[in-house]
Amino acid sequence: MTDPALLFREEALRSQEGPAGPGREAPVSPRWTSRAYWALLVLLAAGLTGSALIQVGEFARGPAVVHGRTVEAVVPAVFGPELRAGLPVELTLGGRAPVTVIIGSTGPEVTGAVAASKLLGTDVGRGALPAGTLIVVRAVAPRDIAAAAAGTVSVQVGSQRVIVTLVTGLAPQSGAVDG
């Protein structure tokens, strides 16, 4: 074996002599890196656990028109199976606080901005409409909201775990609710 005195400078060899004596190993990494490693593992475990337990809502949104206590709106038809009478809907009118109304009925399906505008009796514009086939939602408010006003509706149609939302491959294909 090669003599260490030939490989290292004398100062380096002396720095290794301490209370433990010559030949003591030099520290590989500071203590904080070991602590940081374990802290990172704890945070990763907490994040995975939280994403497996916490659920986020899935909402159907679309334009709406209000006439007294009656609300008519159009939302994507893909949510049709989840929409049913008695479900609460959040109605937002410009400059007012959201109001909760209750779905009375759904249907029929319409296609495109022209058909939706004709049905609602107002020009909703293509930008306000979701793409694809739409379904009409009729709701009833507990009191008169407005004589005639336009706004938007939002109804929770399902929920799924955060991890399912983040990992696209785990998302249900049928629109089923995880829960």
Ranges of residues in the chain whose predicted pLDDT is under 50:
175-179
Indicate the domain borders of the chain. 10-53, 56-170
The dotted CATH code for 56-170 is 2.40.30.170
Q: Provide the pLDDT for residue 179.
A: 45
pLDDT tens per residue, range 20-39: 555 556 556 788 888 999 99
Tokens of 54: 């916490």
Q: Provide the pLDDT for residue 37.
A: 94
Q: Provide the pLDDT for residue 8.
A: 75
Q: Provide the pLDDT for residue 44.
A: 96
Q: Provide the pLDDT for residue 85.
A: 87
Q: Provide the pLDDT for residue 170.
A: 59
What is the pTM assigned to this prediction?
A: 0.60
